[in-house]
Amino acid sequence: MRQFLTVDDIGDIENALNEARILKRNPHGFSYLGKYKTMILLFFNSSLRTRLSTQKAARNLGMEVIVLDVNKDGWKLESEFGVIMDGDKPEHLREAIPVIGSYCDIIGVRSFASLNDKKADYNEDIIMQYIEFASVPIVSLESATRHPLQAFADLYTIEEYKTKKRPKVVLTWAPHPRALPQAVANSFVEWMKKGDVDLVVTHPEGYELEEGLMEGVELEYNQQKAFEGADFIYAKNWSSYSDYGKILTKDRSWMVDEPKMELTNDAMFMHCLPVRRNMVVSDGVIDSSRSIVIPQATNRVVSAQVVIKRMLEKL
């Protein structure tokens, strides 16, 4: 595997889930693969889970890990081509990427959506430059429009907790004070479509995800109706795709609370974290015995470890 950006890069989903099960049972069983190998993790914005779980995964595989907060620890990087670099960015990605690649065997990158240039975001302009200019494999630690390590962990968690072969999984939009990318929701839909689940997406009008992505997925604008009989509720906020990057509503009635969870089939509650309590989900729901947000976050190690292991095997 030379790149990991979307579900298509993982290949057969059952094989990937089986590999995750093996690694979860025996996290250090392949530590010989990463001996004398280095992974560099680049962050263009904040992270708790991705930063720690990816380091843990790489170390479980015997690798050295270097973490760089690009905007704090390095030179600010210019990503536009043909510009006169007379502003606050003294180094161009065109030099920085091959230099970083020369110090390591795998690069992980977290970039972020601009939320004002839909074309650049959905073309994945930033992470594609890493793929073009680095001579080593690239792992997305969340790009402008996808968060594949999160969605892989989400699918794995559903597999661990499901009590029927094909559970009903509901992705629900929830209110948030800030405009957030569609990346988590996009990847969640993409990975659930490959999984053995019945997916329903619910959100207020105006928050429709990319049409192609939603092909074959049930969309229900009535949140309460969507919740009926659900086995898993996955809450997430995202900004508008059509009115790109805009917050169209902060309607608090979309928060996931106890009366809504009563409509479900005693559903498990999931969220990728960080989560704003009593905005996205009530304390009562996230603190209940049906909340699996911590095991979900724990599984970020195993999803990263499958991906890094496959890259190491191909070096």
The residues that touch ligand CP, with contacts defined as CB under 6 A, are: 47-50, 142, 150, 272-274
Residue 246 tokens read as: 């805009």
Q: How far is the CB of 184 from ligand CP (least distance, A)?
A: 7
CA dist 270 to 15, 53, 194, 240, 280, Å? 24, 18, 19, 22, 11
Q: How far is the CB of 263 from ligand CP (least distance, A)?
A: 26
Nearer to ligand CP, 6 or 50 (CB): 50
The letter for the amino acid at 105 is D
The letter for the amino acid at 79 is S
Nearer to ligand CP, 22 or 115 (CB): 115
CA dist 242 to 22, 30, 137, 174, 239, Å? 41, 45, 33, 17, 9
CA 247 to chain centre: 21
Nearer to ligand CP, 77 or 180 (CB): 180
Q: How far is the CB of 108 from ligand CP (least distance, A)?
A: 11
Where do the H-state alpha helices sit in 86-179? 93-102, 118-122, 125-133, 148-161
Nearer to ligand CP, 136 or 270 (CB): 270
Q: How far apart are CA 194 and CA 6, in angstroms?
A: 12
Closest CA to 265 of 220, 308, 228, 225: 228
Residue 2 tokens read as: 């030379």
Nearer to ligand CP, 151 or 201 (CB): 151
Q: How far apart are CA 9 and CA 26, in angstroms?
A: 24
CA dist 292 to 157, 161, 267, 284, 301, Å? 8, 9, 10, 13, 16
Q: How far is the CB of 292 from ligand CP (least distance, A)?
A: 14
Residue 280 tokens read as: 């996205």
Nearer to ligand CP, 4 or 30 (CB): 4
Nearer to ligand CP, 44 or 130 (CB): 44
Which residues does 80 contact at the CB level (< 8 Å), separation at least 6? none
Q: How far is the CB of 254 from ligand CP (least distance, A)?
A: 20
Q: How far is the CB of 70 from ligand CP (least distance, A)?
A: 15
Q: How far is the CB of 83 from ligand CP (least distance, A)?
A: 30
Nearer to ligand CP, 54 or 223 (CB): 54
Q: How far is the CB of 145 from ligand CP (least distance, A)?
A: 14
